[in-house]
Structure 1
Amino acid sequence: MKKKLLIAASIFILILGILVALPFIFKDKIAERIDREIQASVNAQVYYDFNNISLSIFKRFPHISATIREFGIIGNSPFQNDTLAHVNQLQVDFNLRSVLFDDYPTLTGLHLDGGSLYVKVLEDGIANYDITFPSEEPTTESNFKLAVDIIEVNDLDLIYDDRQLDFFMALGQVSMEGRGDFTMDVYDLPMQMEAYIADVSYEGTNYLRSKRFKGETVLNVDLEQFKFTLGDGSFSLNDFLFDLQGFIALPEDDIEMDLAFEGQNNTFKSILSLVPGIYTENFDKLQTSGTMDFRGIIKGVYNENSLPSFDISLKVEEGMFQYPDLPRPVSNINVDMHILNATDNLDNTSINISQFNMTFGSNPISGRFALANLVDYTMDGVLRGKLNLDELTSIFPVEGITLRGILDVDAAAKGKYDSIAQIIPTINAKLALSNGFVKSDEYPAPIEQLNVNATIMNPSGKMDDFVVNLSQFGFELEDERVTGNMRIWDFSQLNWDGALQGSVDLGKMLAIFPMEDIIMEGKLKADLQTKGSYADVEASRYNRIDMRGEMGLSDFYFNSKDLPQGVRINNSDLEFSPQRINLKSFDSRLGQSPLKATGFLSNYLDYFLKENEVLTGQLNLSSSKFDINEWMTSDTSDTTELSVISLPTNIDFAMAVNMDEVLYDNLSLKNVRGNLAIKDGVLRFRDAAMSTLGGQISMSGSYDPRNITEPLFAFDLDISSLSIPRAFESFNTVKAFAPIAQHLTGNFNTKLNFSGKLGPDMMPILSTLDGKGLLRVAEAAYQNPQLLQAVSQVTRLNESNSFQLRNINVPIEINDGVMEVRPFEVRLWDYQANIQGSTSFDGSINYLINMQVPAGKFGSLANNLLSSISGAQTAESTIIPVALNLGGTYASPRVSLAGGNSIENLLTSALRSRVGQERDNIQEQATQQFKAAEDSIKRAVKSRAESAQDSVKREAERKASETKDRAVEEAKSVLRNVLRPQRPTTKPDTTSIP
């Protein structure tokens, strides 16, 4: 018996050892198979470390489990900056036999533990999850078979950002488990899921935020009909429990649905958990009572032309809640609401709140509201109540704020709204706030004597009987008083008559009502009266409108997260009249730049009261020193990162600029003068002049950012006595197209017109430049040992590494980023020369230099050749035509003799030719060969230019979408820092905004 036990134990240990060793024996084969299938199937960057792959046969015996840690997928262009998925740990279960012996490996389980998923759909419908190879591409077909019977997800963050539908969803801590036979066309899938709903928004409207979701159900999946049916189950949002049954089907483009939902075992406290600000860590301590019933159905087809019908009801009876540390409750809460639409047209929706009442402490509020449809808006509503603001702070926790005063509301409306028939509901509404008092712990003085008295009346339902009367509005803050009134009557004409007087300290107001990340101080004074009719505004009868008075702002300072440079206004005085607003004075400091202004605005009533109107005006701006760099940066820590400035299309401003110094990029511009105009979103300037780099620049031109991803510019320049080396250091265009300038001393003059596109950094895109002009150099010195030594080596001329240039006129033309230099005469050393060629935006050069060199300059080499040819030494003055090709880049030039000649062959051919015509033919042949080669080079440069422009455009489009990207990053911040602030990041985020 003992021997049999030992044998059995030995066999068991042997089998166990084989099971332990088996994954390691076949690890390389399994890993190679996984890698091969990924390469064949996925058109994206898949990152993982082979050393982070482990295999086990015990986790899901008899299946083999492959576990990989720190695994992820990064998309290709245009999603190269987005991480589609990152997984902390992913376990994939396989049928072991299929991996080792079958042609078709079978996947049996997926287990994801920790990670993030970022789904992004662009406006044109391109999605970052579309990472499979197109079917038309010849790829190795993936042979994976799916026999998955379990899917587990734990602690996953999910962001769905669909910019085509304008839909955004951010979920955190998603956990899910599903089991079933996924190989069948119809199967039941028991599912469990939990998630934190950070944000769900559609077309700019937020529908859910900061909610906890749980769900458990059996989902029937019918893949043939693409129909998903919910069985028995339970769901919850925060503490609100409900069931959801029915189906959703996607037969083609439509979405068919038949869903019914109903609250389960809920109390009034359950519905309270959905109210923002109430569901906190102390929610369990909230004292509540009352019952709640919630149910509804959604049934029909959703597409572009129809919506499902719906019937939703909510009923609350005898609700009450009270914060544990506060003395008064909100009680007698009763709500009966019914929302119904039995058709597929949203306009047929009706809303009926037959009962609404609650008591704040000892102050009851009650009301009702019925809306028959969304066509003529037939309504019947009443709201009455009185609030003691002092009691309100004993009901709701309002930390740091003391409130007092009585708020009284009595409003009723009944009837329909029909603009064509000039009918509106009858209205009788009164609102009054008396003896209001607001005090913040952040500031010792209160706002007091806060009184508001307003009525809205329309006893007949006719538009001309409509009256809004704000007969009293005012408050005091430390002996400063603000008062006002406004009366509006006749809904069809919208006549008004009102006034506002007083002063207010903005810093004190901000201390009482603080706003995050904002600093503000200063005193605002106003004395305004206005009277008129909106009908007169529409008809431009401004002479019938009375708008007069003054407004002043002094010692003002504003700083915010979006305006970190800060704005300081020492004083500003505005004078109002019906025709225009006069800016009598404006003394400010924008960031570090002082700025003064005077001028006026006209058409301001239309601009503020009507859509698509243009605000016109004239401004005179002056500054002793204005730093543009401070305002053209997207990153305040790096003022070299300039960004495109958009201009409004609905202003028409003429501006006269007079500034002693302007800082732009690395330039200091002195005595800047000019006339600018902004109209239709384009900035145009004329007669602009400035001093910089030791010279004078005059220019006219335009800046057109209407297409923010491809802004345009155009300049006409007249430059006098500008320093050549300083121009090279300061202008990127000079560095690119005239790199020779770095080795020149002296000044230059030019008249040049050029145009092109700007990149996202506000710098010209060199590959788009077009221009034409003439460059004049009176006198300059050139010194470049590297280039001149290369010329000496090729020509055997023993000349110095510098020479003087005098009275040079260089005609230039720029096309598609290539600067073409038409032939011009110059003396190189003591030789007459003709130069032509081009420099491209990418730094490549291609020039032909035709020099006329006396034979004697070649020394003994020429003398020996002369002796062998004629036996005389008298022909040393014979002119040798030397043609040089200059290619490569200016930093790494390639110098060669045209035609591939050696200097010996060139001299022999030239000395044998005593006829001038033959000598000219030598240079003509070199020129023709150069032009033929140049055409080929230009075609290659144009191809590179188009590629460069595409790259810049993609970068511009990326920056233009950063507003939406910021919403994604805010969601990520919530998911990472709020939900799990202590968890270290396992993989650097590669999305577009860190």
Structure 2
Amino acid sequence: MLKKILKITGITLLVVIIGLVAAPFIFKDKIKEMIAKTLNESVDAKVAFEDVDLSLLKSFPKANVTISKLSIINKAPFEGDTLFYSGETNLKMSIKELFKDASETINLESISSENGIVNIIFNKDGVGNYDIALKDDKPADESDSKPFALNIQDYKVENLRFTYLDQGSDIKMVLDSINHSGTGNFAAQKLDLDTKTTAKLSLEMEKNKYMKNVAVSLDAVLGIDMDKMKFDFKDNKALINQLPLEFDGSLQMVDDGQLYNLTFKTPTSSFKNFLGLVPEAYSGDINKVQTSGDFTVNGKVNGKLTETTIPKFNIKIASNNAMFKYPDLPKAVKNIVIDTDIVNETGLMNDTYVNLDKLSFSIDQDVFNIKANIRNFENALVNAELKGTINLANVTKAYPVQLDQPLSGILKADVVTKFDMKSVETSQYQNIQNSGNMSITGFNYTGPEMAKPFLINKADITFNTSKIQLNQFDAKTGSSDLNVTGALDNFYGFMFKNQVLKGNFNMNSNNLMVSDFMEPTTTTTTEGKKATEAVKIPAFLDCTISAKANNVVYDNLILKDVSGNLVIKDEAIALNNLKMSIFGGNIGMNGTVSTKGKVPTFKMDLGLNQVNIAESFTQLDMLAKIAPIAGVINGKLNSTIKLSGNLTNDMTPDLKTLSGDLIGQLLSTTVNDKNSKLLSTLTSNLNFINLDKLNLNDVKAALTFNDGKVTVKPFDIKYQDIKVTVGGTHGFDQNINYDLKFDVPVKYLGTEVNNLIAKLTPTDAKKLESIPVNGIMNGSFAAPKFTTDLKMATTNLVTQLVKQQKDKYINQGLSQLGAAAGLPTKTDSTGTVIPKTKEEVKEEVKTKATEVVKDKVKDGLNNLFNKKKKDE
């Protein structure tokens, strides 16, 4: 019998297990179709989900439906915006619900969501993206049944991010890391819902961050009336950071918005409540803090929240003669007084005002007082007073704030300011009323944005109506010193409206090490390697600086008597009329440096006046690449250089991107050919050149460079009585390709040539005083190759001279033969008697015959007329 019972039991369990495993395959498509139908028939949006799974084991004895990656994407006017997303959504129901007919409603008992996103957006026209319900003008048919009905007993939300964005008011609120759960019988019209909530709150208005990841929590029992949509706060406890609050009253959903009738207060009056407002990371364990005095928060909210109104409210924050002292710190903060009201009496947002009637505290003998009020939220009117002294070193001695480096210095303030935000936005500084002074002495700061510790010996500021005047700024960092005076034009625009900071300053320095200020930032890549980021010029600066410095050290360069104007704007620095003494001469500079793009760039015009060639072309790698003459040519240089390109992360020129042109003139120069393989190669191939006698004074050259290649325009060099024309190209990689044209006097071509020339007439010899010789220099500066047509030119000259001598001797022989034979002769320009040509003889005969004929005719006519006369 027992065996039979066990067998039946085993079969039954096997059937149940098979059923539990097989059920998802039987009902999955049905559930999936119902979910798709429910969503698509309910919303006017793009709905998608990756998959739907049904399990009878996950929540046994309940059925569990899991929807993976469910998303609801808005259509126009919020095309493509995500309204809702859930990484995983779980629906729990009774197993018997799976066996209902397709026309019957399935009752859901539990809903949960993990890793979700909800984005509520109002555009500038006031339209919200959450209104996605399908509009149906047909009257509702009560006989129509919905696929799902809510018979929920509990629900849960894990790791939800809720974002509220009002583009018209420029308000952004984010509740991140929301974990919320609720338990109650939603099938009842009236129920008590037991809820637990934790989240992190951030609030931003007009790009100003008022809260960032403030921890909030609420454990509350809410009495819910489903008919009236009213929620009553019953047993509850809230925490803002560690500040406890209790709520009383109700919230009701009405046709035109929400109706509030709430009061809240701190359950105790201990000053520890105030420390509870500060995030725990900055306040430490407040349970160990010794306090006296009180701190209370009381408030009431009453009225409707609609499209045009807000509830009226009155919130009071107060403390009187309080103190606190941390057990591990030597100082106490005493005589704390806080008197603040945040009030709206009309229900109109613009009528909200904040009164900080007094905030006062003291550490040791130093007392600091603050008073301020803000009214008219559409154009906020701010009136504030600051007066007192703070020894910054005492901050960390009285409060457990974690600083990389402790603060030091004495801050003194006595300032009154009154302004409205519209005047700040429109730069109507004449409407801003300021007065008073603020100073800080002995302030020492070290931070990741500074290459070296920064010490402000003294800074003194005067507040007046139109500007904030910097009367003194005496500072030191590393081995650099700074003394700055000037004025800020829009300090409030910078502070409150994220506008650029405008100003004009005069800066003086005795010694300025650029590396003290411009140390590149080091980051770690995904591969774990350290990468150096380029130095960035701040985008928030728009200022002009007139600078003078006796000594400036940049990389390995020492600059003296530096002066000029710098305009910092739009992440760029414009250098105007920058002058400096260096390399035994002077350099003038105009141009720009910009870090706005991904790669920093520069464009510069340089004027070099009598700079030492050896120093400048050795220490400036850029010049060494353009013209590698250091150690070869000694003397001075005048030059104008136009160049542009990219900068490396340490703000030095990237030579691969360099382009521009250079015009230079050499002064008082000598040549050291022993230091140049190129020149020694030249002299070894041309024995008539001695570079010790080369005169390069006043030689002018022009060249252009781009993509690592330098093109030298042809220029002339005079070596004694030899003219040399040089032109060609070389690369930053040291490869060369030059053409050299020599105008060589024949006297340098040897005895044979000169003996032949000596036999010429003076006229012919003068025509052959010099000959052109062409040379080509290629290879590299380290291994040059030189070829020339000197041998061919000399051979051609000798051939020409031999021919001239041969022709001379032949003509002399013909002359002597002609004279001996009685042939007609003539004397050439050199006095040599030579025979006349056949054509010359014919011409002479013709001329002579003509003259004879003329004479005969004349004689005949004379005889004729004389005979006639005699006859008569």
Shorter chain as denominator, the TM-score bin is 0.5 to 0.7
- Going from structure 1 to structure 2, the CA distance change for 1:509 and 1:608 (only over 3 Å counts) comes to same
Asked if 2 retains the 8 angstrom alpha-carbon contact of 1:498 and 1:530, the reply is yes
Asked if 2 retains the 8 angstrom alpha-carbon contact of 1:593 and 1:627, the reply is yes
Q: Secondary structure at the match of 2:631?
A: helix
Match of 2:785 in 1: 894
The amino acid that maps onto 2:573 is L
Q: Does 1:741 align with 2:562?
A: no
Asked if 2 retains the 8 angstrom alpha-carbon contact of 1:548 and 1:575, the reply is yes
Asked if 2 retains the 8 angstrom alpha-carbon contact of 1:737 and 1:843, the reply is no
For 2:678, which of 773, 778, 787 is the aligned residue? 787
Match of 2:373 in 1: 487
Match of 1:125 in 2: none
Asked if 1 retains the 8 angstrom alpha-carbon contact of 2:300 and 2:315, the reply is yes
Alignment of 1:62-141 (within 5 A): none
- Going from structure 1 to structure 2, the CA distance change for 1:502 and 1:755 (only over 3 Å counts) comes to same
Match of 1:411 in 2: 299
**Whose relative contact order is higher, 1 or 2, with alpha carbons under 8 Å and at least 6 apart?**
1
Which stretch of the first structure deviates more once superposed, 805-814 or 564-573? 805-814
- For 2:659 and 2:158, the matched residues in 1 are separated by 64
Match of 1:647 in 2: 537
- Going from structure 1 to structure 2, the CA distance change for 1:402 and 1:662 (only over 3 Å counts) comes to farther
CA shift for structure 1 position 228: 7.0
For 2:400, which of 509, 513, 517 is the aligned residue? 513
Match of 1:881 in 2: 772
Match of 1:456 in 2: 342
For 2:713, which of 797, 818, 822 is the aligned residue? 822
Which stretch of the first structure deviates more once superposed, 641-650 or 696-705? 641-650
Match of 2:237 in 1: 358
Asked if 2 retains the 8 angstrom alpha-carbon contact of 1:380 and 1:413, the reply is yes
CA shift for structure 1 position 692: 0.8
Asked if 2 retains the 8 angstrom alpha-carbon contact of 1:887 and 1:893, the reply is yes
CA shift for structure 1 position 384: 1.6
What TM-score, normalized to structure 1? 0.54
CA offsets 1:419-473 (integer angstroms, 9 cap, x no match)? 8x4x332111111233432324554121112221211111221245422111120
The amino acid that maps onto 2:726 is I
For 2:548, which of 658, 666, 673 is the aligned residue? 658
- For 1:878 and 1:356, the matched residues in 2 are separated by 119
- Going from structure 1 to structure 2, the CA distance change for 1:844 and 1:313 (only over 3 Å counts) comes to same
CA offsets 1:711-739 (integer angstroms, 9 cap, x no match)? 33222222211010110122121111111
Q: Does 1:697 align with 2:584?
A: no
Match of 1:260 in 2: 89
For 1:436, which of 322, 339, 344 is the aligned residue? 322
- For 2:426 and 2:336, the matched residues in 1 are separated by 38
- Going from structure 1 to structure 2, the CA distance change for 1:879 and 1:912 (only over 3 Å counts) comes to farther
The amino acid that maps onto 2:266 is G
Match of 1:769 in 2: 658
The amino acid that maps onto 1:831 is I
Which stretch of the first structure deviates more once superposed, 762-771 or 531-540? 531-540
Q: Does 1:753 align with 2:642?
A: yes
Asked if 1 retains the 8 angstrom alpha-carbon contact of 2:180 and 2:195, the reply is no
- Going from structure 1 to structure 2, the CA distance change for 1:378 and 1:681 (only over 3 Å counts) comes to farther
Match of 1:201 in 2: none
Asked if 1 retains the 8 angstrom alpha-carbon contact of 2:71 and 2:85, the reply is yes
Q: Does 1:583 align with 2:470?
A: yes
For 2:156, which of 284, 289, 295 is the aligned residue? 295
CA offsets 1:516-572 (integer angstroms, 9 cap, x no match)? 422321011111112343344446554443222111111111112442501111111
Match of 1:534 in 2: 421
Asked if 1 retains the 8 angstrom alpha-carbon contact of 2:437 and 2:460, the reply is yes
- For 1:671 and 1:583, the matched residues in 2 are separated by 25
- Going from structure 1 to structure 2, the CA distance change for 1:353 and 1:558 (only over 3 Å counts) comes to farther
The amino acid that maps onto 1:701 is G
- Going from structure 1 to structure 2, the CA distance change for 1:508 and 1:701 (only over 3 Å counts) comes to same
Alignment of 1:384-399 (within 5 A): 384-387=265-268, 389=270, 397-398=285-286
Match of 1:835 in 2: 726
CA shift for structure 1 position 754: 2.6
The amino acid that maps onto 1:646 is K
- Going from structure 1 to structure 2, the CA distance change for 1:232 and 1:506 (only over 3 Å counts) comes to farther
- For 2:516 and 2:484, the matched residues in 1 are separated by 19
Q: Secondary structure at the match of 1:518?
A: coil
- For 2:247 and 2:411, the matched residues in 1 are separated by 40
CA shift for structure 1 position 648: 3.8
- Going from structure 1 to structure 2, the CA distance change for 1:825 and 1:337 (only over 3 Å counts) comes to farther
- For 2:448 and 2:757, the matched residues in 1 are separated by 84
- Going from structure 1 to structure 2, the CA distance change for 1:399 and 1:256 (only over 3 Å counts) comes to closer
Q: Does 1:466 align with 2:466?
A: no
Alignment of 1:845-860 (within 5 A): 845-857=736-748, 859=750
Alignment of 1:213-252 (within 5 A): 227=51, 229=53, 231=55, 245-248=66-69
CA shift for structure 1 position 649: 4.2
Q: Secondary structure at the match of 2:717?
A: strand
Asked if 1 retains the 8 angstrom alpha-carbon contact of 2:249 and 2:263, the reply is yes
CA shift for structure 1 position 602: 1.0
- For 2:253 and 2:742, the matched residues in 1 are separated by 93
Match of 2:220 in 1: 335
- Going from structure 1 to structure 2, the CA distance change for 1:461 and 1:778 (only over 3 Å counts) comes to same
CA offsets 1:120-158 (integer angstroms, 9 cap, x no match)? xxxxxxxxxxxxxxxxxxxxxxxxxxxxxxxxxxxxxxx
For 1:688, which of 578, 582, 593 is the aligned residue? 578
Q: Secondary structure at the match of 2:407?
A: strand
- For 1:775 and 1:556, the matched residues in 2 are separated by 49
- For 1:338 and 1:730, the matched residues in 2 are separated by 82
Gaps of 5+ in 1: 1-185, 189-224, 236-242, 264-291, 300-309, 321-331, 340-349, 916-994
Asked if 2 retains the 8 angstrom alpha-carbon contact of 1:352 and 1:371, the reply is yes
For 2:517, which of 624, 631, 636 is the aligned residue? 631
- Going from structure 1 to structure 2, the CA distance change for 1:466 and 1:853 (only over 3 Å counts) comes to same
- For 1:684 and 1:356, the matched residues in 2 are separated by 65
Match of 1:137 in 2: none
Q: Does 1:551 align with 2:438?
A: yes
CA shift for structure 1 position 697: 1.1
What TM-score, normalized to structure 2? 0.61
CA offsets 1:218-271 (integer angstroms, 9 cap, x no match)? xxxxxxx97474757879xxxxxxx983334899999997943489xxxxxxxx
- For 2:66 and 2:298, the matched residues in 1 are separated by 43
Q: Secondary structure at the match of 1:492?
A: helix
Match of 2:839 in 1: none
Asked if 2 retains the 8 angstrom alpha-carbon contact of 1:632 and 1:642, the reply is no
Identical amino acids, percent of aligned pairs: 24
Asked if 2 retains the 8 angstrom alpha-carbon contact of 1:518 and 1:561, the reply is no
Q: Secondary structure at the match of 1:625?
A: strand
- Going from structure 1 to structure 2, the CA distance change for 1:750 and 1:548 (only over 3 Å counts) comes to same
Match of 2:382 in 1: 496
Asked if 2 retains the 8 angstrom alpha-carbon contact of 1:734 and 1:741, the reply is no
Q: Secondary structure at the match of 2:679?
A: helix
Alignment of 1:952-967 (within 5 A): none
- Going from structure 1 to structure 2, the CA distance change for 1:506 and 1:679 (only over 3 Å counts) comes to same
The amino acid that maps onto 2:455 is R
